[in-house]
Amino acid sequence: MVGADTAWIIVATALVLFMTLPGLALFYGGLVRSRNVLSVFMHCYAIACLMSVLWLAFGYSIAFGSGTSGYWGGLDKMFLAGIDADTLAGTIPEVLFFAFQMTFAVITPALIVGAYVERVGFGFVLLFSGLWMLLCYAPVVHWIWGGGMLADGGIFGETGARDFAGGIVVHETAGLAALIIAVMLGARKEQSKPPHNPGYVMIGAAMLWVGWFGFNGGSQLAADGGAAMALTVTHISAAAASLSWALWEKVKFGKASLVGIVTGTIAGLASITPASGFVDPVTALCIGGVAGILCQEAVVLVRNTLKIDDTLDVFAVHGVGGIFGTIVIALVGQGTWVAQLGSLAIVGVFTTVVTIALVYIVKAITPLRVDEEIEQTGLDLAVHGERAYDTTS
């Protein structure tokens, strides 16, 4: 099965990169005003490039090095030292495992982009994202997937945290970081402008949906029935959440929107991610059905009750969805309550502390927010010297 496993993970790696480029870029880009769409594309693209280089240099080693402390993997695998085409990680080449995990390291800080679009400094985006991936994301990867302190045999005993594809590692960390940055950054001057291109939003969401098959199915790290089941439950949860979000919109507002139904898709995908290796299709149907309503109400809570301008609802959709899916694993008896809740708490506190510290450090080096004039005229032309749409041509 080595050849089949390798072939599948090569495909899965491409699918996960496809989630960020172009899926997430289009999904986020369509939700902002037309004067800021290129800045969103630039954020996603530049983050993908920078995280890839940093993952090669330090990130992979921190996450999957041979360190035995339980807290980080060490630096023995910097720049893939000692790894060549014949080195195996399980049944696949380790260099392929590196590449697959690299795409996760790309999309996780890219998810945070949605919290600060339309008002953030480009230098801050790059410096913060790079440091956050190395100092927050990579250590958490080691704790749960790299045999660290939250894995089996760690601080929770024989049965450690169960997180198949990133409910804690990806969605909780990115969601909490997004919420914290949104609070520290402050609200946009104009929050009432509608998405400039719902068509982009739908296309981006559709690309994310397809790419998520690699995200969850690939996390089996084998071409077998487990991968097939993970792919299937991922699809069912996404479909159910899309419908429940749209139905809940119809009940509350009298209309179901395109942006709403595709946001429900992402809620369903985020919620099934940690549980996709542990549940059957009927359970996935229930997860998605709940997620569409739960995450929509979380949007209302963050926006209207807490008055936090998490611009594109990163915490409400990704953070709440990932946390919900992680709890479901214990609910269906596939993980212990102590390990699931304890891991959520530990990672939550760690992410909060590291994110706050990094925001203060980075904004002392480069501005956190653009000035009011640039925010008003748009980041595309002021920061990047380009317009997305030339109405005179």
pTM to 2 decimal places: 0.97
Contact (CB, 8 A) for 108 and 168: no
Q: Please name the residues in contact with 221: beta carbons below 8 A apart, sequence gap of 6 or more.
A: 5, 9, 90, 91, 92, 97, 100
pLDDT tens-digit series, residues 187-221: 999 888 889 999 999 999 999 999 999 999 999 99
Cα–Cα distance, 156 to 142 (Å, whole number): 15
Q: Please name the residues in contact with 53: beta carbons below 8 A apart, sequence gap of 6 or more.
A: none
Predicted local distance difference test score (pLDDT) of residue 68: 75
Predicted local distance difference test score (pLDDT) of residue 69: 83
Give 369's DSSP letter.
B
Cα–Cα distance, 257 to 247 (Å, whole number): 10
Predicted local distance difference test score (pLDDT) of residue 84: 96
Cis-peptide into 194, omega within 30 deg:
no
Contact (CB, 8 A) for 354 and 136: yes
120: β partners: 369
Contact (CB, 8 A) for 94 and 87: yes
Residue at 107: amino acid letter? I
Give 193's DSSP letter.
P
Residue at 292: amino acid letter? G
154: β partners: 157
Contact (CB, 8 A) for 376 and 204: no
- Compute CA 195 distance to the chain's CA centroid, rounded to the nearest angstrom: 21
Q: Where do we find the tokens 């949104």?
A: 182
pLDDT tens-digit series, residues 54-99: 999 999 999 999 987 889 999 999 999 999 999 999 999 999 999 9
Predicted local distance difference test score (pLDDT) of residue 1: 61
88: β partners: 93
Q: For residue 101, what is the enclosing H or E element?
A: helix 94-116
Q: How far is CA 50 from CA 103, 110, 153, in A?
A: 12, 11, 34
Residue at 39: amino acid letter? S
Predicted local distance difference test score (pLDDT) of residue 380: 97
Q: Please name the residues in contact with 351: beta carbons below 8 A apart, sequence gap of 6 or more.
A: 136, 140, 172, 173, 176, 177
Q: Report, as ranges of residue numbers, the positions in the chain whose pLDDT lies below 70.
A: 1, 393
Contact (CB, 8 A) for 210 and 16: no
Cα dihedral value 333, 337, 342, 345, nearest 10: 90
CA atoms within 13 A on the CB side of 293: 10
Cα–Cα distance, 320 to 267 (Å, whole number): 9
Query: At residue 266, what are phi and psi to the nearest 5 degrees?
Result: -65, -35
Q: Please name the residues in contact with 293: beta carbons below 8 A apart, sequence gap of 6 or more.
A: 244, 245, 248
Predicted local distance difference test score (pLDDT) of residue 2: 82
Scored b (16 or more CB within 10 A) or e, 344-354 reads bebbbebbbeb
Q: How far is CA 82 from CA 6, 7, 85, 260, 388, in A?
A: 20, 23, 10, 48, 45
Contact (CB, 8 A) for 343 and 163: yes
Cis-peptide into 198, omega within 30 deg:
no
